[in-house]
Amino acid sequence: MSHTVSRRILAVWLPWWPVERLVRHRPEVRGCPFVAVSDVRGRQLVAAANRWAVQAGLAPGMSLADARAVVPEVVVRPADSDADARALESLARWAFRFTPRVALAGADAILLDVGGCAHLFGGERALVAAVRASLKGFGLTTRAGLADTPGAAWALARYGDDVLGVMSAHAGLAERKRALGSLPVAALRLDDGMAQSLASFGLDRIHALFDIESVKLAKRFGPELPRRLAQVLGLLADPIAPLRPLPSRKARRAFAEPVSRAEDLRAALDELLDDLCATLRRMGEGARRIRLVCHRVDGEPQAVEVGTSRPTRRKESLTRLFAEKLEQVAPGFGIEEMTLAAEVAETLAEEQVGWVPVLEEARELAALVDRLGNRFGFERIARPVPQRSWMPERAVRLCAFDRWETSARQPRSRDEPEAGDRLEVHRLASAVVGWPAGRPRPVRLTSPPEAVQVAVSRKGGPPVSFRRRGRLHWLRRAEGPERLEAEWWREDAPARDYYVAEDEDGRRYWLYRELPPPDARPASGGSASASRWFLHGVFG
């Protein structure tokens, strides 16, 4: 006989979440009036206040100047809604230990679908007590509601008479109406404007809506009101969107006793890497971004992350990357659990090692790039990539090292090499590539080319001297010219005649004469009478 697990939703509301998040690690301000302020059109307004500030007469929406006039000793900190949201999501993921289905409910509440899980904790009330006790240990105030629908649980948590409102399982419609009827209409998850509009008609309690037809409610107040009413009563589906669990490419270690010593953390990380690399090997994948999360006993997760320029599952390389990152973990009073997850992974075929020198060079270069990238940021590391242009300043561009290694499924620009060319580009990453072989090119280019004054022996001839920054350079020899022209679609771009020139001190320079576009040159084929000269590079 099959059994259907009843749906039981636990709503946990954190009424003081923004301020309690800020004071969790500041015990000196606990018990004092505390507010978080935000800038609204140039005005500092109270965004959230703790209970002591509220008791003293402060409230959200009040200006900071007025708040300080009422409570001069109030402690002020800037509000950060993004940080609040990230921390709430971390808290929701922490709640995965109670149920695999956890969802966010606004900016200060989470929903746990505990149907089928309660017996693992000794029953529903024992489970709720365990959740609230853990959150209390984190310094958080909670109110909870338990019901068959998310709407009812949310309403009981926020507007119930007790800190825990419970609606019995499989409650009928009459029982739901009795449990919810006395609550204000705001408990239907309506916006403030809708709730105030209902109150102005004397419909300030949910029971006042029971005898009004849904069609009339929708006609007067819009479709949202009857929909929310039907959901809270269980007459209409009210799905939740649970957070996606951690990636399947993960490893986990839970400790019988909290650990805090660095050697214990390194030993645990070593075991986690063994498990993760074995999982990646079975899946035929390599990791591109790996995240280590250390869950402290106080509920504050410590997370570090490493990235790689190409997929890898080599434990030795990953161990070196995590060596410095692990020093950033603050164990506090101890770490009770560690998880290691490959958040980004890609297909990685097996490679032959020890026989192909180019593969070894590419692997060594990748390891170096990974270390530099995790220390300084991959966006700050680049390599030269050949471009389809004869003009030196356009023949090479700098490309981030992780561009080619991201995924074969991503589109490739016409100037990026095919997959078969990657190892060669790795090998020549420090060289200037893409220029004609056998033609001298300077080690350094001046950017942009520097205008110089040049003397020539005859019209259109090679240079015999040039003046740069007030200094005259006499040339012993000048080889050239080598004519370079822009791409055919750059019709108005001038051509250039390049010379490799050596002065009396043996220094070699790359000079060029700028020629007008082809349609502006003399019919005889000679160069224009007024030529401009530029220094474009220095050899050695």
Q: What is the pLDDT of residues 10-21, one digit of tens each?
A: 999 999 999 999
* Residues 24 and 138 sit within 8 Å (Cβ to Cβ): yes
Residue 225 is predicted with a pLDDT of: 94
Q: Are residues 307 and 207 in the same domain?
A: no
Out of 328, 350, 372, a domain closes at 350
Q: Are residues 192 and 337 in the same domain?
A: no
Please report which helix (H) or strand (E) contains residue 266, including its range: helix 262-283
Would you say residue 375 lies in a domain? Answer: no
Q: Are residues 83 and 194 in the same domain?
A: yes
Q: Are residues 255 and 234 in the same domain?
A: no
Q: Are residues 272 and 139 in the same domain?
A: no
Q: For a pLDDT cut of 90, what percent of the chain falls above it? A: 51
Q: Are residues 278 and 328 in the same domain?
A: yes
Would you say residue 89 lies in a domain? Answer: yes
Would you say residue 233 lies in a domain? Answer: yes
Residue 10 is predicted with a pLDDT of: 95
Beta strand pairing call for 34-40 and 75-78 = parallel
Nearest partner of 160 among 173, 172, 147, 170, judged by Cα: 147
Q: Read off the CATH number of the domain in which 58 is found.
A: 3.30.70.270
What residues pair up with 189 in beta bridges, in sequence order? none
The chain-wide mean pLDDT, for the chain, equals 83
- Work out how many domains the chain is built from and give that number: 4
Residue by residue, DSSP assigns 307-364 as EEEEEE--HHHHHHHHHHHHTT---TT-EEEEEEEEEEEEE------SS-HHHHHHHH
Enclosing domain of residue 404: 382-427
Core vs surface per residue 234-252: b (16+ CB within 10 A) or e = beeebebebbeebeebbbe
* Residues 339 and 250 sit within 8 Å (Cβ to Cβ): yes
Q: Read off the CATH number of the domain in which 314 is found.
A: 3.30.1490.100
Q: Are residues 267 and 234 in the same domain?
A: no
Would you say residue 333 lies in a domain? Answer: yes
DSSP letter assigned to residue 494: P
Would you say residue 436 lies in a domain? Answer: no
Would you say residue 186 lies in a domain? Answer: yes
Instruction: List the beta strands (DSSP E) in 30-176.
Output: 34-40, 43-49, 75-78, 102-104, 109-113, 143-147, 164-166
Residue 538 is predicted with a pLDDT of: 92
Residue 407 is predicted with a pLDDT of: 33
Span 422-460, pLDDT tens digits: 333 333 333 444 456 667 888 788 888 999 999 998 888
Residue 397 is predicted with a pLDDT of: 79
Helix (H, G, I), strand (E, B) or coil at 507: coil
Which segments in the chain show pLDDT lower than 50? 1-4, 356, 403-434, 525-529
Would you say residue 358 lies in a domain? Answer: no
Residue 346 is predicted with a pLDDT of: 85
Out of 215, 245, 275, a domain closes at 245
Q: Are residues 190 and 263 in the same domain?
A: no
Would you say residue 356 lies in a domain? Answer: no
Q: Are residues 208 and 102 in the same domain?
A: yes
Nearest partner of 92 among 113, 76, 74, 77, judged by Cα: 113
Out of 216, 245, 274, a domain closes at 245
Q: Are residues 462 and 485 in the same domain?
A: yes
Cβ count near 276 (within 10 Å): 25
Q: Are residues 227 and 331 in the same domain?
A: no
Q: Are residues 137 and 64 in the same domain?
A: yes
* Residues 486 and 391 sit within 8 Å (Cβ to Cβ): yes
Residue 412 is predicted with a pLDDT of: 35
